[in-house]
Amino acid sequence: MAKKKKAKKKPLRKRKDEDVAVEHVLDRLYAVIDSRKGADPDTSYTARLFSRGRQQIAKKLGEEAVEAVIEGIRGDRPKLVGESADMLYHLLTLWAANNVKPSAIWNELARREGLGGLAEKAARKHK
């Protein structure tokens, strides 16, 4: 009986115009959020957020961030997980409202990779 060959792992696909690998859950979530622009606010929470404007989206992100901070201080891990997911959703919604693609963030994080926090902060001050 012949042995089955192990399937080779497929490398993550790259978009032609981007430097970073895709197929992350945040990329997929962003695509769904972005697709809700112009949708019916009566049938989509995301469309409702977009209809209220960037200021309201930013306000909601702030509320979710505060809730995550509170749960982090309390040490309630399950609630921190939930609030963190809410915060990330609202952050991605704010990005979409401002036409900021996740790849721009991933590229900026990659640029900073390996830099110490103090060195990175100092570099920003000199710009």
Q: What are phi and psi of 14, to 5 degrees?
A: -115, 145
pTM: predicted TM-score of the whole model, two decimal places? 0.75
Q: Would 69 be classed as within a structural domain?
A: yes
Task: Note the pLDDT tens digit of each residue in 8-46.
Answer: 444 444 444 455 454 689 999 999 999 999 999 999 999
Q: Tell me what pLDDT residue 2 has.
A: 52
Which pair of structure tokens corresponds to residue 51? Answer: 């209809």
Residue 90 near residue 66 (C-beta atoms within 8 A) = no
Which pair of structure tokens corresponds to residue 62? Answer: 């702030």
CA distance 121 to 47: 36
CA distance 59 to 61: 5
Q: Would 20 be classed as within a structural domain?
A: no
Q: Tell me what pLDDT residue 10 has.
A: 45
> How many residues are given for the chain?
127
Which pair of structure tokens corresponds to residue 81? Answer: 């997980």
Residue 54 near residue 95 (C-beta atoms within 8 A) = no
What CATH number does residue 30 fall under? Answer: 1.10.287.1080
Structural domain including 70 reads 26-103
Task: Note the pLDDT tens digit of each residue in 51-81.
Answer: 999 999 999 999 999 999 999 999 999 999 9
Q: Would 122 be classed as within a structural domain?
A: no
Q: Would 53 be classed as within a structural domain?
A: yes
